[in-house]
């Protein structure tokens, strides 16, 4: 009975924590879907988002969630700049070259954050009453649920729903999806693909700000923490289907639930292995992932 209860607890924890990873991965999948580039720097941008939340909290005592009203627009502008300065000049072999360019961006961000005069290499963590005080959780049905996980899951759902409407219910969304399906054809029918790409990259980076805030509430991080993150984010978008927002959310939840349950039932050492074994099986059946590109674009 206690074992079943623990497993149920991990299913709930996995679903809630999945929201955090969905936030972090959604920008990655959106950027790939529209621009056909793999933003290896997304992990570093997430960490940068965490640092921005930290700055606002430490220096101006701004609540973590309210701070997103500042950090997300700021990161959006940064995304526009990165796209203009580093991505747009790539005219050939965009997918391959983008890996190198965005990795360089990750190194620049890591190096800048790690300077003695900025943050150095200290681990930092985000705090709030709903994160780590003794009142940071509530009980329901015998399960103790942390407020922060609930808040982040709600934020994640709201942002992804908003993004869904932007992509599928607005004029900009039509242009965006046209660019996703065929950049050349979209240009021929009058879509300003470069503008769409820039805005998409900006949105993807802005989502990293929210993801960074959420990540920073669960784990202490430093400028080098993006290395562990990016591999997990890539796995999420591959499982969910590269380019699919719905896929990012579902894959995040699937990954976290499988890993968390395996961890408590068996051992944490096998948690990732079991997930990857399942990933291989799913990809054998559905090489395009759960909500692969074709299906994702028909939504």
Partner 1 sequence: MIRQYFARLRKGIYASAAVSLILLFVVACGGGQAGTTPTPGNTSPIKIGASLSFSGDFSDDGKAFQQGYQLWANYVNSHGGLLGRQVKLDIVSDASSTDQVQTNYQKLINVDKVDLTFGPFSTLLTKPASVVASRYGYAMIEGAGGGPSVFTRGLRNIFDVSLPVANNLVSFAQYILALPASQRPATAAYATEDDPFTQPQVDTARSLLEQGGVRTASYQVYPAETTDYNPIADKIIASGAKVVIAGTLLPDISAFIQRFKQQHYNPQALIATAGPDQGSQFIKAIGGTPSAEAIMVPNGGWYPQANTPGNAQMVQAYLAAYGGTANDISSDVAEAYSVGQVAFQAVTNIGSLDNSKLIDELHSGHTYQTVQGLVKFDSTGQNTAAQAYLFQWQNGSLLPIYPATATGAVKPEFPKPNWP
Which residues contact partner 1 by CB under 8 A?
2, 5-6, 9-10, 13, 17, 110, 114, 120-125, 127, 131-134, 136-137, 144, 146, 218-224, 227-229, 232, 256, 259-261, 263-264, 267-269, 271-272
Overall residue count recorded for the chain in this entry: 299
Least Å distance between CB 65 and partner 1?
17
Specify the residue, 178 or 214, whose C-beta has the smaller distance to partner 1.
214
Least Å distance between CB 162 and partner 1?
26
Specify the residue, 111 or 162, whose C-beta has the smaller distance to partner 1.
111
Specify the residue, 11 or 97, whose C-beta has the smaller distance to partner 1.
11
Specify the residue, 90 or 274, whose C-beta has the smaller distance to partner 1.
274
Residues 137, 145: Cα–Cα separation, whole Å: 5
Specify the residue, 244 or 262, whose C-beta has the smaller distance to partner 1.
262
Least Å distance between CB 134 and partner 1?
5
Least Å distance between CB 86 and partner 1?
22
Least Å distance between CB 112 and partner 1?
12
Name, in order, each residue with C-beta under 8 angstroms of 191's C-beta and a sequence gap of 6 or more.
175, 178, 179
Least Å distance between CB 272 and partner 1?
7
Q: Tokens 């959006």, residue?
A: 76
Of the candidates 254, 184, 205, which has an alpha carbon nearest to the alpha carbon of residue 39? 205
Question: What separation, in Å, do the N-terminal and C-terminal C-alpha atoms of the chain show?
Answer: 42
Least Å distance between CB 20 and partner 1?
9
Least Å distance between CB 289 and partner 1?
21
Specify the residue, 175 or 225, whose C-beta has the smaller distance to partner 1.
225
Quickly count: other Cβ atoms within 10 Å of residue 222's Cβ: 18
Specify the residue, 113 or 196, whose C-beta has the smaller distance to partner 1.
113
Specify the residue, 83 or 260, whose C-beta has the smaller distance to partner 1.
260
């Amino acid at each position: 009975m206690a074992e079943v209860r623990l497993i149920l607890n991990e299913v709930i924890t996995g679903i809630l924590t999945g929201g955090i990873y969905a936030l972090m991965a959604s920008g990655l999948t959106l950027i790939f879907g529209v621009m056909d580039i793999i933003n290896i720097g997304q992990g570093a941008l997430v960490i940068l988002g965490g640092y921005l939340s930290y700055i606002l909290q430490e220096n101006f005592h701004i609540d973590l969630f309210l701070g997103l009203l500042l950090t997300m627009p700021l990161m959006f502008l940064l995304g526009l700049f990165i796209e203009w300065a580093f991505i747009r000049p790539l005219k050939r072999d965009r997918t391959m070259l983008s890996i190198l360019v965005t990795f360089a961006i990750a190194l620049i961000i890591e190096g800048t954050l790690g300077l003695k005069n900025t943050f150095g290499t200290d681990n930092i963590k985000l705090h709030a009453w709903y994160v780590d005080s003794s009142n940071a959780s509530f009980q329901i049905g015998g399960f103790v649920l942390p407020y922060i996980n609930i808040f982040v899951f709600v934020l994640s759902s709201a942002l992804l729903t908003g993004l869904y409407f932007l992509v599928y219910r607005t004029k900009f969304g039509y242009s965006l999806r046209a660019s996703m399906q065929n950049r050349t054809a979209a240009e021929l029918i009058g879509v300003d693909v470069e503008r769409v790409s820039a805005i998409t990259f900006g949105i993807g980076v802005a989502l990293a700000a929210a993801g960074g805030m959420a990540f920073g509430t669960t784990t202490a991080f430093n400028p080098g923490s993006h290395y562990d993150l990016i591999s997990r984010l890539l796995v999420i978008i591959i499982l969910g289907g590269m380019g699919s927002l719905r896929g990012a959310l579902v894959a995040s939840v699937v990954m976290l639930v499988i890993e968390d349950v395996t961890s408590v039932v068996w051992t944490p050492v096998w948690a990732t292995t079991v997930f990857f074994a399942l990933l291989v099986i799913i990809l054998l059946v559905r090489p395009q992932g759960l909500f692969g590109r074709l299906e994702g674009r028909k939504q």
